[in-house]
Structure 1
């Protein structure tokens, strides 16, 4: 009775695949060597230590010595890996929801490419830990199977379309093509100049940073295939990225079918989408490179690396052109917002001439092409950072940057009156946003061990009087929250008030290459008020009950913090 049911067939197939894996492991052979067709797999995420699932399609036939394209397919809101794998092959079934499709993969046509669909922490918008999940899965597939690194592409619909541009343009030198379908590339605040003008400076920057259009200059060698239905309003959700690519003169194919939001069916059906995605080949050593970033998490593209921005959490850009000059090479470089950079091309020449913003610098063959602006002039060489703290790659803030890191949330128990509130806030902060599936460890301060903390960022909930770990670090932190007396001390400034508290990110004094985040209230109400912190956050916020209107919002809006902003480049509080 069960033999003909799709769910039973699927279960038998997956049980057989599991048995095959187990047999290969027992025989000490590669369990992935025989993977063919569609399979559910998982890897252990370094961020929360739990399995992160993905769906993989492997071609039925692999020729020895040949490398194949890889397509990364990002699901939309409420989507699942196998459901997205079906869609990528043009097999969306409008009669069933994504959960049903995920449970019923069915048969896949033979196609000469690998296709992988990450879970990426579910409804994550592909930001923070989810972005890292996409790249981790891409890296794993590329290492494990015969993938051509110059033919890796990325696509997705709706939320996955936004994620396609988000990931593709931040890691543009990793992808040969991108097809963002019916995505959202324009932050609301950029649509409304009046609203934008009322934002705090860090909110204005984060609104720009959240728009994939701001990252478009990186797409010089990343052709886009953008599809947006004429009845999917506003069309400018995709139109802004289309317009920017046209302004830049970059490779673009656009389609505007008479459809609503569902443009993925006509785009992916009959393997049309896969055909376009597996066509382009990324140049291995391009003569021109453009890199735009506001964070040294994304510090390189091809042979250009930004070593230091003029200001963290601010835009920097390098545009570099290489030309042959006799037996040597000439490089012309233009910069904006950059304090230091390096060029690392795979080929050089007997002589090298580099012109940076009009200043000519001659280098001998083999001399490092590293440059730094000193006293307003570009000079060769990079100055090592001096003593003390410095903002740098993966340690520059703002506060939510910690969600790129493996972390442990530690709630304070030293003050029994605050223990429950501390734990509640710890679990709230660890959830990131509704729909974001991640399971960071949450432990009491008395349970944290050196082994648990090693190599991880710490989120400490509770000030020095309620959290034992905060107490140990407190004299080396810039902001102090006390319950008796109820106050916040930030440098020379003292704050008092109702529902008082503070939140900040800082290098961990005991592990200076890792973050520590402190969320602390001067009483129970101040502790719980931390859950009103909005999505866009700077490095530090001191708040009271006036933070309430920001709960569940992207920005502060009508909420008025007592103090908020960015630490300087040496992690020092700014002057009042």
Structure 2
């Protein structure tokens, strides 16, 4: 009876001995037998806690979308808004991949963190369709469990690590914390990824490094093995360097003697859960820097940009004691400030830094 997740086997009689044999496939990536929870014996009961598969409407159902694995800690109050940790799976992974990590489930139980593991629609490199699927999975969880919108974090390994930073940097106001294990921050188009991304334009749409400004209020935790030959460690060091240069919050664990492997995930997974348990995103930060490389990405933290053309767009605004300063604006003809954006009341004076022109700023009523 092949099974990717929890399975209940009903035995015919309870008054005789039974022998149950379990065969486990272990990948080269894992290098170990990864087990989420030990087998349990007894009378079957219905439960809303623990691991379960949730289904929801998705235009990507034919690609494996429309379902996600959810872990709800035992005793969790579903009516009290709490922390949610999203896990984006690696290459050749799926919704059940991270459910096999006992350490992940144990720490989520201990810290009362709800987990959701969405589908990446196969080996997608978390391009737009897969990113949309992840966001649908988050919304689906919110219909069943109360989630604090300021306490949603995201993590992943390998393709999932790159995907976690891509998704979080595209939507920085939707996440409180992001962790990436040995993920690419700027894809090398001389490798296999070209067949998926198509060219530099496709890579630009998913490279976290290309929207680095969006990480201003997003703490990032990077883990990379120094012996990694699949995704060289420079992929994480580039991201760390770019964030530190801009004064952003980033921690980087360079791990000697380890490579592109599951045991490295286990080594730091409790730290990831611990940080997700306490992380909280700002609602109205007084400075917002937002770069958009896709037409659908138009706003963050209540600041919305209107493009002046088809290319990238960037805005950088800050509320100070004397009003709102437009520090930079590129590829943008209008900036719309939503209610309380930048912590503003709506009547502040607008000033433009030297070199900034041709852009209108208005408050949304």
Q: Given the two structures, how large is their TM-score scaled by the length of structure 2?
A: 0.77
What's the counterpart of residue 115 of structure 2? 115
Q: What does residue 67 of structure 2 align with?
A: 53
CA distance in 1, matches of 2:348, 2:199: 42
Aligned pairs (5 A) from 1:322-333 = 322-325=319-322, 329-333=323-327
The aligned residue for residue 159 of structure 1 is 159
Matched position secondary structure for 1:188: coil
Pairwise CA distance, 1:219:
0.8
Alpha-carbon distance between aligned partners in 1 of 2:215 and 2:108, rounded to the nearest angstrom? 32
The answer on 1:315 being equivalent to 2:315 is no
Cα shift readout 1:492-516 (whole Å, capped 9, x = no counterpart) = xxxxxxxxxxxxxxxxxxxxxxxxx
| Pairing partner for 1:342 from 336, 345, 353 | 336
1:345-364 map, 5 Å:
345-346=339-340, 348-349=344-345, 351-358=347-354
Q: From the CA coordinates, give the structure whose radius of gyration is larger.
A: 1
2:194: which partner in 1? none
Matched residue, 1:377 = 358
Look up the SS of the partner of 2:241 in the other structure: helix
What are the equivalent positions in structure 2 for 1:76-115 lying under 5 Å apart? Answer: 76-87=90-101, 89-90=103-104, 109-115=109-115
- The Cα shift of 1:272 comes to 2.5
1:463 corresponding residue in structure 2: none
Match for residue 41 of structure 1?
54
Q: 2 CA distance for matches of 1:52 and 1:246?
A: 38
Shift of the 166–16 alpha-carbon distance from structure 1 to 2, 3 Å rule, reads farther
- The alpha-carbon deviation at position 341 of structure 1 amounts to 2.1
**Matched residue pairs, number?**
319
Give the drift of 1:116. Answer: 0.5
Work out the CA distance in 2 between the residues paired with 1:66 and 1:323.
35
Shift of 1:190: 9.2
Distance 2:65 2:78 in 1: 31
Compute the TM-score of the two structures, normalised by the length of structure 1. Answer: 0.50
Q: What stretches of structure 2 of length at least 5 have no aligned partner? A: 1-16, 24-36, 192-197
In the other structure, the counterpart of 1:508 is none
CA contact (8 A) 1:179 1:277 kept: no
User: Are the aligned partners of 2:305 and 2:335 in contact in 1 as well (CA < 8 Å)?
Assistant: yes
CA shift for structure 1 position 121: 1.3
- Describe the shift of the 1:74–1:291 C-alpha distance in structure 2 as closer, same or farther (beyond 3 A): same
The equivalent residue for 1:222 is 218
Q: Is the alpha carbon distance of 1:113 and 1:350 closer, same or farther for their aligned partners in structure 2, counting shifts above 3 Å?
A: closer
Q: Note closer, same or farther for the CA distance 1:229–1:246 as it changes in structure 2 (3 Å cut).
A: same
Displacement of 1:109: 4.7
Match of 2:278 in 1: 279
1:184-333 correspondence to structure 2 within 5 Å? 184-189=184-189, 203-233=199-229, 234-258=232-256, 259-262=258-261, 263-268=264-269, 271-308=270-307, 310-312=308-310, 314-325=311-322, 329-333=323-327
Instruction: Please name the residue that 1:389 is paired with.
Output: none
| Residue 276 of structure 1, CA deviation | 1.9
Summarize the Cα distance change of 1:351–1:254 in structure 2 as closer, same or farther, 3 Å threshold.
same
1:377 to 1:124, Cα distance in 2 relative to 1, 3 A: closer
Q: Secondary structure at the match of 1:217?
A: helix
Q: Deviations over 1:430-452 (max 9, x none)?
A: xxxxxxxxxxxxxxxxxxxxxxx
- Structure 2 CA distance for partners of 1:342 and 1:223, relative to 1, 3 Å: same
C-alpha distance after superposition, 1:30-50 (max 9, x if no partner): xxxx62111122223134577
